[in-house]
Chains A and B, each alone.
Chain A
Amino acid sequence: MHIIENITIIGGFDKKGNPEIITELIVNKGEIIGIVGPTGSGKSQLISDIEQLAQFDTSSKRQILINGKTPSYELRNNPRKKMVAQLSQNMNFVADMTVTEFLTLHAKCRGKSINDVGKIITLANELTGEPIKQNDNLTILSGGQSRALMVADVAIISESPIVLIDEIENAGIKKYEALELLSGQGKIVLVVTHDPVLALTSQKRIFMKNGAMQGIIFSTVEERIASEKLNIIDKNMLVLREKVRAGETITNINF
């Protein structure tokens, strides 16, 4: 696997054709970067530029460098060499096969021999309230189960050094744990989010406007404390959610 120390995002142009305010941003390995901004501000485009390792050839005209250099054609196009794993809110499973068949097939595509897909399912089940079973058909999984399985798949099978996450907050999974699992050791993680639980976890956030990177916000000590509190609330919410789903009544809430 290609060793990645950092990626460089070279600014392009906003929706009106003006140069971006942030002209260059280096993201180092081990960093979690948030991407925030109103709907239509270009957050998903930024993620997509990184996913494709854009070379002035997308609508934003940005360039992405790996370790300060232009990535090779191979690196950009061969999925076996692919360094970017991606997860987004709009993604669904469409394949008509069981969870086990799917994971085995994906591992084969990635040139990995996985003898225990059960481990991936167990990991996914730690993120969702409703357990996934080995022989469940992929297409019947709920939104939360699908997202949890995608997270576990990215963490174990894809193992890419760059992880891009686009708005997974409403998926009904343990967000903080999911982020922890995905960020692994020494990965580069970019998270598009409006959710304070995730946004405040990152050390830096890129603020987007009109299709351009407008500024960088560094998280403060207060924000980090808030983030820990929010994480506890978030976990409690998930417990409540499962109780409601199971037809129970909620007696007392203390958080």
Chain B
Amino acid sequence: MKLIIVAGTPGAGKTSILLHTIKILKQSYKPSVVKIDCLNTDDDKRFAKLDVPVLLGLAKDMCPDHFSIYNIQEMIEFANKNKSDMLIMETAGLCHRCAPYTNNSIGVCIIDATSGPNNPTKVGPFLSSADIVAITKGDIISQAEREIFRERILEVNPNCKIIDMNGISGQGAAELANMISKITICESKTDSLRHNAPFSVCTLCVGEKRVDKKHHRGLLRKMDGFQQYIGE
């Protein structure tokens, strides 16, 4: 089964782009869709209108990217149960530090052109380790800036395929669908992440609410960049 993992900051246009693209993919595949979010979302209802099986996962207290990685097997079972040959996952896309793509998935990064030409150098592995980068909202910035934005993406991820997309009109959806069809890689049980998740685990991760430094244990990093393990 093809596994497509779609990452990008909230509001970048992930759902809008996917709605247009799934309409096209449906002509040759039987896709299932999983939406991962933190606390709440309407995206599952938006996908359900396409008449495809939709599964919603809410990460609640867990980091949403970790949640989606931890639950991949269950998502694949869901897709299998629905006799799908393709699983599309839209992540919550909150943190720039994680990249949820696995080696055997197709990693699609959706990035908003209005975030400014310095943004691509700031966002980290979900951009630099993607196979396909879709740039949205190019309709509201000048063509010159669109071109600069594109070059900046190539500086960070020289091997990616870039598509100019529009989540409202559906521009570029046929091309994204075509690229997804052409990449033949399939998910497997021995799959691993392309990029490690952050390794700092501290007392805040397990629910400590008090702010003062003296309450914290774990792998901690100071403002000046000094990182150390505090604890037993």
Residues of chain A touching chain B, judged by Cβ–Cβ distance below 8 Å, are 45, 48, 52, 57-59, 77, 79, 82, 85-88, 90-97, 102, 105-106, 108-110, 146, 150, 153-154, 157-158
Contacts and interface: CB of A to CB of B under 8 A. Distances in A.
Contact of A106 (B115, B116, B144, B166): B144
Interface string B122-154: 000000000000000001111111011011000
Interface stretch (B53-61, B168-176, B187-195, B197-205): B168-176
A91 to B, nearest CB: 5
Interface in B84-138: 114-118
A24 B171 CA distance: 22
Contacts of A91: 139-143
A218 to B, nearest CB: 30
Contacts of B147: 79, 82, 106, 109-110
Nearest to A80: B147
B143 A158 contact: yes
A93 B141 contact: yes
B170 to A, nearest CB: 6
Nearest to B115: A94
A195 B32 CA distance: 48
B134 to A, nearest CB: 13
Q: What secondary structure prevails in chain A residues at the interface with B?
A: mixed
A109 B148 contact: yes
Given A79-B150, A158-B144, A94 B114 contact: yes
A45 B169 contact: yes
Given A94-B116, A96-B116, A58 B171 contact: yes
Contacts of A85: 143
A70 to B, nearest CB: 15
Given A79-B147, A79-B150, A93 B174 contact: no
Nearest to B166: A48
B137 to A, nearest CB: 10
20 contacts: A45-B169, A48-B169, A77-B162, A79-B147, A79-B150, A85-B143, A90-B140, A91-B141, A91-B142, A93-B141, A94-B115, A94-B116, A94-B141, A95-B118, A95-B145, A105-B148, A110-B147, A150-B144, A157-B144, A158-B144
A135 to B, nearest CB: 18
A171 to B, nearest CB: 13
Nearest to B164: A52
A157 B143 CA distance: 11
A117 B70 CA distance: 53
Contacts of A48: 166, 169, 171
Contacts of B114: 94
A57 B145 contact: no
A154 B140 contact: no
